[in-house]
Structure 1
Amino acid sequence: MGKVVITGTSRGIGLELVREFATAGHQLLALSRNEKPVTALGLSGVSAWPFDITLGEDLERAALWVEQHWGGVDLLIHNAGALLLKPFSETSPRDFEALYRVNVFGVAGLTRALLPWMGRGGHVVMISSMGGVQGSAKFPGLSAYSSSKGALITLAELLAEEYKEQGPAFNVLALGAVQTEMLEAAFPGYKAPVSAAEMAAFIRDFALKGHAYFNGKVLPVSNSTP
């Protein structure tokens, strides 16, 4: 079974991903600011502690833990993300920077920290949004969020090219509406056709098998707008 690192595991899709992989017998490192929801599950093979993807010392700690306990990583799933719903005219440079530190810079930092422990058979899956896909429907108030998710897509394309010889593979899943706390914050009252558990099952299967068919690709995973 594989060794899997997942970020943003305190709720929603991330927490369901922990269930999916752990119950299938994989070893997990679940990284989130709040580790309590994961530890409360009491699942075997799962390690978790408080983790901030914007802090260099936390990135170093994750890499050191992998070195000492596993010696390698098979899957890295970047699920952590921050949301801001605010008109562009009221969105400050500090707002933009705070969102990009989580959604882009933190993803790049953790990837860089773990790359020495990943190889040709590895797979890095970045969870983006349909809002970050060029030509997709856009919604007011999400300028910082959706643009950061667009940056994530381009980052994955570039890393796939840079590491195509030695691995790992890099792919992006651009999610549409999934019934999570983040969706409720962005679109109050909207009911999505897909649950967090259903999407987590899809992401698990793609993370395990998708790199055999894709590298440097963005796959829209949406049957609704938003």
Structure 2
Amino acid sequence: MTVVEAYVGRNKLHQPDDSSNLNPEVLSLINEGIAQNTTGNVFVPKEGGEAEISGSPTEKAILSWAVKLNSYILHLGGLWSTYTLERRALDHEGFVAKGPNMNVAFVTKEKELIMPHFDKILSGCTAKRVLTLAEKLLSKGKLRGIRMKHVTVEEGKSSAEMMLIGSGVLVCPVVQWDEQVIGDGKEGRILKALFNLIVEDMESAPPTVRIPVPY
């Protein structure tokens, strides 16, 4: 699949992958829109060469188009892959948003579970369930608080625990962000407790909502 037509506003780009006439702010919005709405990836080898693009056929087509669009003024060099990862993690105001197809949550050094507001990101059903189940840890004194808030990158990197939450991974630890080690660099106690709670919750559901899958 390939992108054969592209429009900015109501104006058609006669060469869909030519951004030479685009305002940099418009290109930035295009990049942000693609980065926030795709789970595909772009890998640009450090030694140079063609970018490697993964994802569904539609995502690969859109990402390939974006790479060509950016090559006119960014010269790539890893900029698109960095941009994609950063934009996927942050909202337009620079606060932590989410991971690819997953929500993100943190445990502060004060034992508070925090998660970015759902107003600008996916309100994942697994994340919502984790917030509900976390009340059990609150009642046991393992957590001192649970709340939704705007999380800065600095707060995220200085947290005691960081985790990705989604139906595919349930609750998955993040032990390093860029060069910053999160907590002690190991899977945290709160994360383990939340993982066990979500698994127990799934296994305890009545047969009417559970479908056995033969392996």
TM value normalised by structure 1:
0.27
> Which structure has the bigger radius of gyration?
2
> Which structure's residues are more often helix, by fraction?
1
Query: Greater relative contact order: 1 or 2 (C-alpha under 8 angstroms, separation 6 or more)?
Result: 1
TM value normalised by structure 2:
0.28
